[in-house]
Amino acid sequence: MKVTIVGAGNVGATCADVISYRGIASEVVLLDIKEGFAEGKALDITQCATNTGFNTKVSGVTNDYSKTAGSDVVVITSGIPRKPGMTREELIGINAGIVKTVAENVLKYSPDTIIVVVSNPMDTMTYLALKATGLPKNRIIGMGGALDSSRFRTYLSLALDKPANDISAMVIGGHGDTTMIPLTRLASYNGIPVSQFLSEEVLQKVAADTMVGGATLTGLLGTSAWYAPGASVAYLVDSILNDQKKMIACSVFVEGEYGQNDICIGVPCIIGKNGVEEIVDINLNDQEKALFAKSADAVRGMNDALKSILV
């Protein structure tokens, strides 16, 4: 099984490293436009093999899409990262042209691939990739919800002082600081609602921290985070390549689900060998429905900026 990662920056390289280390794919190709950059990252990762025991073939190429031929999954991380004070929405004009070109190029050599979009603003870039390529909606997946949910579980873990892997929690809605919806009502610790352990005040603090989780790291690091995003992409790719059918919150095209149409937005999905195999309908309460509708309106508004690009 072959995975191509377009963009060998921090997120792309971390994703390649996790996929290789865990043996998720037999081959990983890193591609970047900067001369020698992807090659260097691939060589560095490969030199870990004897110490960490993986057998994945890792290679890097400079802007040569022919080397990506036959990829089962293509991950697009291309574009500029956020800088302190910059919102994901501000990246639309810069990253849209990059994502459209990348998607078209990878399909020349891997027409049957599943595309995972990481570039921000992620919901809008996922929508762009879908509309620009004309692929079936199950083959274009935005990974934002997987990352947001991992951050949500982390903050719940810290509040509970319990292992994150014992906590089940999900974030739906847009992948933005004001549009994501941490579902505190449905979060649980080993099947028990976390509301039995945490006060409403603490839960609201956890939700607020989750929503600005990316911005918090950008402020601390001076650029976008990469360890958790890279691992979240690898987690999603694993479910696709190995047909694990995990339920993962992903940004996907909706046609009536959750009362929305013609946008890509984060909803619970069953992810397997065909990409998005099912959108899971969660019974949201009235407050959650209102928040989701508001989030969808915000995402739809950002998509309006793509009209000139999609013509």
Q: Which residues make up each annotated binding site for NAD(+)?
A: 7-12, 32, 95, 118-120
Residue 261: what residue type? N
H or E stretch covering 75: strand 73-76
Angle made by CA atoms 88, 89, 93, in degrees to the nearest 5:
110
**Binding positions:** 7-12, 32, 82, 88, 95, 118-120, 151
Q: Can you tell me the distance from the alpha carbon of 156 to that of 174, in angstroms, rounded to the nearest whole number?
A: 20
Q: What angle, rounded to 10 degrees, do the helices at 200-211 and 213-221 form?
A: 60
Dist. CA 75–CA 69, nearest whole Å: 14
Please identify which of the residues 175, 214, 233, 275 carries the catalytic annotation. Answer: 175
Alpha helix (H) residue ranges in the chain: 10-21, 37-46, 49-52, 92-109, 122-133, 144-160, 200-211, 213-221, 227-241, 286-303, 307-310
65-70: long-range pairs with CB below 8 Å, 24+ = 65/31, 65/105, 65/106, 65/108, 65/109, 66/109, 67/29, 67/31, 68/4, 68/6, 68/29, 68/31, 68/106, 68/109, 68/110, 69/109, 69/110, 70/2, 70/109, 70/110
Polymer length in residues for the chain:
311
What is the Cα–Cα distance from 65 to 109, expressed in whole angstroms?
7
Residues belonging to the binding site for substrate are 82, 88, 120, 151
Q: 175 an active-site residue?
A: yes
CA torsion sign for 244, 260, 291, 179 is positive
User: Three-class SS of residue 83?
Assistant: coil
The catalytic residues are 175
